[in-house]
Amino acid sequence: MNGILSDKSKSLAFTGHRIIPVERQDEIRTRLVEAVSLACRSGITCFFSGMAMGFDLMAAETVLSLKGKYPDIRLIAVVPFRRQNCRWPSIEKERYQNIVSRADRVIILSEHYFHGCLLRRNDFMLEHSCGVIAFYDGKPYGGTFYTYREARKRCMDIINLY
């Protein structure tokens, strides 16, 4: 599968919390545009989103919004299990479907949910990236903590927009 994906040295993954306070959403969107634009100007061409509600979807939308300015960039939607969004609110389902329909590639890692599948998704993204753009509050629990910690263990570049 590695040959099909972009060069690891030209790829970044997103990780972040599912809830972004309403009063910070515009600020975080602006900072995402700046971070993704800087990455593009630095030679990054591939961005992995784990497609969770919150930061992942916002980051994916940001990449898609910048394709006009950076036509070579690609969005890879890494879905931990088929029907990931089946229990989400309808507005979030619509966002998800819109992103999936516009992504350059959709990788579904499992047909069914299983305990640990979200961490497996995060590991997959880290294995194929040289760095991470994060929205991490520093608290030592949860999937974002796990991914941030793993990226640090691997000595990856991390930009934290929190």
Render pLDDT for 36-86 as a digit per residue (tens, 0 to 9).
Answer: 999 999 999 999 999 999 999 999 999 999 999 999 999 999 999 999 999
pLDDT of residue 2: 44
Any idea which of 6-10, 21-25, 87-91 has the lowest mean pLDDT?
A: 6-10
Cβ atoms within 10 Å, residue 9: 10
> Band of the pLDDT at 133, cuts 50, 70, 90?
very high
Pairwise CA distance, residues 99 & 94, whole Å: 9
CB hemisphere CA count around 61 (13 angstroms): 17
Pairwise CA distance, residues 77 & 37, whole Å: 19
How far is Cα of residue 142 from the mean position of the Cα atoms in its chain? 16
DSSP letters for 81-125: STTTTTTS-HHHHHHHHHHHHH-SEEEE--SS--TTHHHHHHHHH
Residue 93 falls in which region: left (phi positive, over 0), alpha (psi -120 to 50) or beta: alpha
pLDDT of residue 23: 98
pLDDT of residue 1: 43
Residue 97 in tokens: 């479907």
